[in-house]
Copies of this chain bind each other. A is one copy, B any other.
Amino acid sequence: MVSLRSLSIWFFFFVFLINPSISIRTSFIKLPTSDRSRYCDSWRLAAETNNAGTWDVIPSICVDFVAEYLNGDQFRSDYDVIADYALAFAKSVEIAGDGKDVWIFDIDETLLTNIDYYKAHGYGSEPYDDNSFSEWVVQGTAPAFDSSLRLYNALKKLGFTIILLTGRDEHQRSSTETNLRDAGYSGWERLLLRGPNDQGKSATKYKSEQRSKLIEEGFKIRGNSGDQWSDLLGFAVADRSFKVPNPMYYIP
């Protein structure tokens, strides 16, 4: 009943899932391509649905799979369909016209794609490096996701107040603003970045606190778009949250 193939999958599960913090080299595991692709697809679904919980780096056997997904048509289609659902919801919202109906956007991997950076860093298979990512941010050359720009502009036309809420630091404000404008974004009401008091906080806490302050100011948070569950969960959540795909990294 137990084939060699299923045994190899079980071994794989044992090593990588029962204790996902183990980061040994996996190149010696010779899973058939179809099994590997199937596993990586399941892993991606588990990550996107937040079933995987906190994870450090993508499974090393899934690097090719993730690269192929990100550079292919499926990723773009996944983004597009979510943008369409977000827009359908947005159209159902009654806008009061007092500027208090808010849509929140995260920036990295939500409005802007850093795929050129991650391409040079193993598509999420290398641990996050703050220094090199900061250098990338200063360059300010990240392009927009087409479907995010489309959604962003449509929301503005519908009368939503756009607020950008990012884990980037206050000292990156200028290069972030320039990058956003160069990528085609304009007309946001606020750009909220991590200040000195936000250092060390989890993204979930920091972003929930920021949303809570907005609500105290009288804003109604109708929609929220982010590539991380920590953009969307916690407290003071939006009426509807939209999780765009990101199989490269997880921010708690």
Contact = CB atoms under 8 A, between A and B. Distances in A.
Interface stretch (A73-81, A137-145, A164-172): A73-81
A89 interface: yes
A86 B52 CA distance: 8
The prevalent SS among residues of A at the interface is: helix
Interface in A198-252: 240, 242-243, 245
B88 A38 contact: no
A13 B80 contact: yes
Nearest to A19: B88
Given A38-B77, A77-B39, A18 B48 contact: no
Contacts of A42: 74, 77-78, 80-82
The size bracket of the interface on A is 35 or more
Contacts of A243: 49-51
Contacts of A240: 53
Given A74-B41, A74-B42, A80-B13, A88 B20 contact: yes
B38 A73 contact: yes
Contacts of A73: 38
A85 interface: yes
A115 interface: no
Contacts of A81: 13, 17, 39, 42-43, 45-46, 51
Contact of A78 (B45, B78, B80, B91): B45
A189 to B, nearest CB: 24
A159 B81 CA distance: 42
Interface of A: 13, 17-20, 38-39, 41-43, 45-46, 48-53, 73-74, 77-78, 80-82, 84-89, 91, 240, 242-243, 245
